[in-house]
Structure 1
């Protein structure tokens, strides 16, 4: 109670003393002046941006882009007229320079003459970005220049969007042209597919005809084999016939000689029967040899007849095979001609597609740089070149087929002649065989007659006249037979030579037919590969046509609308979802300036209100402590109430909880007051100097303005040990975030600061008496 009475007496004395009362009242407004005036000045600086004068100069002359007039500078001016960012002054360059020089404008924004022209260089080899010249008058006001830089970036984004819209419209127009070109390319690819189908059919017919040709040449080869065997047998029989006829000719000559001798013997019948018997014996011997020769001739002509028949059969098969081959070569020639015509159409279609794509690429360089378009160009050119080579190959193949067909026709005519000759040869051989049989029968009869003659030699004498007459006649016939035998021998030699040549010809024919068979087989294999290639070409051209039609359909589905162009020009927008939204600068800086004002207010209180003395002379140490502590606490309460009321109702600060805001403001002010009271009570003016140093460190480390992480690392050390850190954080919680648990924690830390320093003040009063204080004060006065 005594302590309270001391406080009341000290308070009454202060209220009765105008010199002390007026400064106390002034000190109460210190936090209001700091927090109120500072916050009012920075409450919403961007709210009056429209009063900040800025010069705008448009020197752009415009440009033509894709047949349209591009006026990017004028578009920018229109954007600025619709923007309330600054006080826009649209002036000339000279006026802008003069305004900057005499501080009439804080900054100038200049659009150069080539602004639109450079904006059209997007698709050039070396594009040049359009420039906006920004000239801030930083010497006049640096912060205005920084604010203007941010605004210019926003203007740049809006103008870029306008320019991008022009680009986008051009791109969509190109897409429409591409769609039309792809449709034409799809039609060309369809024609290629049709031509490839016809070519595929021709290749199939070619393959089938070549298979027929291969089969015919195989049959022809098989037919030549028995022909070769028959000719070989014929040649062997001809050799045997030659040998037999030679023997026959010799025998007949001997028989003729014997007949002459017999004739002489008969004429000289007087020589005796012995000479007649000898002559007859020689005749029998010659006749025997004649019979053997005629028998060999019969055998030879029989073999010759069989060989000739084989030759007829072989030549017939050869003729049939060559006729089939001729038909196949005719079909081959027709199929290759059809294939060549289809290939010519394919080549024209492929070249048209390649030329169309080249023209499209030349008309749009940007499209030509696309890797997919380059692949399409290379593929179309490769298809055109491949079809041209294929057309040339098929023309050469058609010419070869024509030559093959002509050769086949000549070979068929030769085979027909060979067949007719072989049939004639077979007829001659049959006649020769019949003659040989008759000759053999005659020689047999001759032998029998000579044998009978020998037996009737005894009766020779009796029938000498008849025998002489008969032998004369026989001699004449035998001479004719000898001459015929010589001719027969010559014919046998000629027949042997002819059959040898025939054998060689048949061998060459067999080799030629084998070569034709091998060639036709390889041609058939090549036709099979051609058929597979044509199938791949048909499939690929169908797929190409389908893909091009799909591409044309998809690109044609792209329709240009204002919304789509705007989306293409500005595909990304920012949607701001603020967490614990702060409406203005004042609300954001309120914790910082309130803490600053309450701290300065507490410091000023120690200049007005005595920290040690009491108006009650008999007051005890503890009573003086209570009186001084209550006095400063009351000042804290009044300062916090006035500051809180000014920002709440004067500036319109919105908080999460008004009662907690009052409470936290009072606890903050009280904690600051206890800290400053202790330092000044113990150290007087040096204590105030320490308080100012603490204030400076708190202003830089409390994270009231910039984030803590942005200040130097060595300064961050002081952040957790200074009280303003917790007052700023707690006021942010109660004003903006509503994190009351953090607020109570910060309030508790401030209370700890207040209690600790209040105990330090108590320690001072409990160790110092008022007399000591008066003596110390007088000593200081005398020293001065």
Structure 2
């Protein structure tokens, strides 16, 4: 009761404050403005299509078809004049273009000059479809272009029907002509049957005579086969003789030419063998000298080998000494470094002592005047200067020792390289000595071989002399054999030419007789088939005469009527059976715009009504929650009632169940109201921004206009998460489909949304202290 008392005080305060009461009253009509005005504007746009200006240009010149004038463009214009689909304007091409440029016409339909002439090419070898040019002014209004595209398809269908009717009338006229021709063809088929009987008798006689011819040709072919085989064998032998004699003559000629080249080569070889013999004598002398030189090389390499061994031993000793020098120089550098560091410390101490004595003398004039003190100060200064010079000399000595150590290391590395090189030199000299020994042995063998080769060269010279004499005699006999081979080749060629002609004649004779036998057999077979075909022709011509008579009778019964022509032009019609028919655009869009209006109305309510405060002083948190909730609930119920009444009785919306429509409208309005109340109560101004973002996502994902499947895939995932999805779907059920089970399911989901967000509002009031004075003033300023 205390909660109702707080609510009543808030209502009285609102009624007494015109600045608050009037906006609250206006806000109640927001859903009516959205749903009523939007739906009224788009309730039935196709009902006023006759007010949409469209230009029609007919440039068709007509054409002759089967002796009749075809004016398809003119027929199209007459059809359009009978319909009121658009506001037709029949103008010229120039007027249509000017009207499109000035946005006077939403689209233009142009019938080209060759429209009818192309329509007559159906039976041509290369038919050309007739075209209607459609020019929509899509930039002026996109939807009008889409509507025009659908209308042009209907126009094309109607024109196609008219052209098809013309074709059909022509075909049916031809059928009448065919009927008379079939009668005449029947008479001709009867005469053909008589001629086929006579052809059958002649074919029988021809078949018998051809059998006799086939038998004689077979016997002649058997007699020619032995003759053909003998001539073929003779020709093969002659061909082989020709080939062999030609090859022999060619080989003898080549052999004769080769013999001449061989004789010349033998002469050259004989002269060369003499020169070879003289050269071998000189080579023998050189080989003997080479053997003496290699002996000297063996002796010198042995001496060189002994010296290299001495060098290697000295290099080992040098490397050992340099390694010791490196160690000593390292120790020296280390000692000098330590001495240099000590000298530097002594110099620093002497300098400090000198500076201290000078400071002491300056601070005590009596001490400064004492000659002993003056000597002490002068001595300390001299010691400091000397120790500084000693330290500098020590540093130079240390640097020199370091350089000496580095040089010793480099010398040691060089000594290692020298030692390795001397060892490689000794190994090379050993190899050189071994090579000199082998070379000396080879030189001895070469001298021995030169002696043997010189003796062989003398024998070769004597042999070439005998070979030259034999080649001369062989050349004479080979020339005689080549002459005989040429004559034998000429005789073989003449024999092969004669037998080839004989074989060709025998082949032609055999082929002719074979062809005669095959031809006579084929003629006999053909005569048999001719006899069979003549029988079939006689039977078929009789049947043809009978069938042609029947066809003439049946085609004569075909009568051209308007109904038949129409059936040919449009043999198939579409019967549309709509499931859950929607009478107009307004009915289809009501779920979407009604949901939109209720959401926007709820959002506006949060602007004019305080969200957290109450006019009742000392009101508890829960009482303030109840007062705000009852206020928004009452405003939501009034908004829903007004919107439902306007849609049902103002726009004449037809629904399956009015009580369920009112109930679903109330639940939808409460759901949106409590969702927005929770957002703004918790977040204040940012909460209204969140509500607007939520509205935007709902408008794109609720499937209120386009099907859900046509939106981007990432948006589809938001569809089941937003409340407007279920309000749109539930309104469709109660308005168009009558699926009450789906409606109750959607209503239950909306109730879950409503209760959940109402609980969030309650949590805010129960967990937050009273707003600060600044917050109260902020709400009051907004409401003003």
TM-score by length of 1: 0.57
TM-superposition CA deviations, 1:219-258 (whole Å, max 9, x none): xxxxxxxxxxxxxxxxxxxxxxxxxxxxxxxxxxxxxxxx
TM-superposition CA deviations, 1:386-434 (whole Å, max 9, x none): xxxxxxxxxxxxxxxxxxxxxxxxxxxxxxxxxxxxxxxxxxxxxxxxx
2:19 maps to what in 1?
19
CA distance in 2, matches of 1:605, 1:648: 24
- Give how far 1:202 is off: 7.3
1:34 maps to what in 2?
34
TM-superposition CA deviations, 1:693-728 (whole Å, max 9, x none): 111111111110001111111111111111111100
- Give how far 1:157 is off: 1.2
599 and 700 in structure 1: CA distance in 2 versus 1, 3 angstrom threshold: same
666 and 778 in structure 1: CA distance in 2 versus 1, 3 angstrom threshold: closer
CA distance in 2, matches of 1:592, 1:528: 88
CA distance in 2, matches of 1:58, 1:602: 56
Instruction: Map 1:493-512 onto structure 2 (within 5 A).
Output: none
TM-superposition CA deviations, 1:278-327 (whole Å, max 9, x none): xxxxxxxxxxxxxxxxxxxxxxxxxxxxxxxxxxxxxxxxxxxxxxxxxx
2:766 maps to what in 1?
766
1:694 maps to what in 2?
694
SS in 1 for 2:151: helix
527 and 570 in structure 1: CA distance in 2 versus 1, 3 angstrom threshold: closer
Confirm or deny that 1:654 pairs with 2:638: no
RMSD in angstroms over aligned alpha carbons?
Answer: 3.0
1:632 maps to what in 2?
632
CA distance in 2, matches of 1:778, 1:705: 43
540 and 621 in structure 1: CA distance in 2 versus 1, 3 angstrom threshold: same
- Give how far 1:191 is off: 2.2
207 and 52 in structure 1: CA distance in 2 versus 1, 3 angstrom threshold: closer
128 and 210 in structure 1: CA distance in 2 versus 1, 3 angstrom threshold: closer
CA distance in 2, matches of 1:124, 1:720: 59
CA distance in 2, matches of 1:567, 1:683: 71
CA distance in 2, matches of 1:540, 1:148: 60
1:589 maps to what in 2?
589
684 and 546 in structure 1: CA distance in 2 versus 1, 3 angstrom threshold: farther
2:126 maps to what in 1?
126
2:724 maps to what in 1?
724
TM-superposition CA deviations, 1:140-167 (whole Å, max 9, x none): 2222222122211211111111111111
SS in 1 for 2:171: helix
1:366 maps to what in 2?
none
TM-superposition CA deviations, 1:585-641 (whole Å, max 9, x none): 000000000000001001001001111111112111111111111111111100010
- Give how far 1:82 is off: 0.9
- Give how far 1:97 is off: 2.1
CA distance in 1, matches of 2:695, 2:755: 20
TM-superposition CA deviations, 1:657-699 (whole Å, max 9, x none): 1111000001000001111111111001111111111111111
653 and 198 in structure 1: CA distance in 2 versus 1, 3 angstrom threshold: same
- Give how far 1:11 is off: 1.3
2:139 maps to what in 1?
139
SS in 2 for 1:109: strand
SS in 2 for 1:104: coil
- Give how far 1:525 is off: 11
SS in 2 for 1:64: strand
Q: Are the aligned partners of 2:703 and 2:725 in contact in 1 as well (CA < 8 Å)?
A: yes
1:604 maps to what in 2?
604
TM-superposition CA deviations, 1:365-400 (whole Å, max 9, x none): xxxxxxxxxxxxxxxxxxxxxxxxxxxxxxxxxxxx
- Give how far 1:39 is off: 0.2
2:739 maps to what in 1?
739
207 and 148 in structure 1: CA distance in 2 versus 1, 3 angstrom threshold: closer
- Give how far 1:197 is off: 3.7
CA distance in 2, matches of 1:558, 1:613: 93
- Give how far 1:523 is off: 12
Confirm or deny that 1:755 pairs with 2:782: no
- Give how far 1:175 is off: 3.0
- Give how far 1:738 is off: 0.5
- Give how far 1:528 is off: 7.4
1:235 maps to what in 2?
none
CA distance in 1, matches of 2:632, 2:778: 27
Instruction: Map 1:98-117 onto structure 2 (within 5 A).
Output: 98-117=98-117
SS in 1 for 2:83: coil
SS in 2 for 1:536: helix
TM-score by length of 2: 0.57
In structure 1, list runs of 5 or more residues that go unmatched. Answer: 214-521
1:174 maps to what in 2?
174
CA distance in 2, matches of 1:760, 1:711: 32
CA distance in 2, matches of 1:532, 1:779: 116
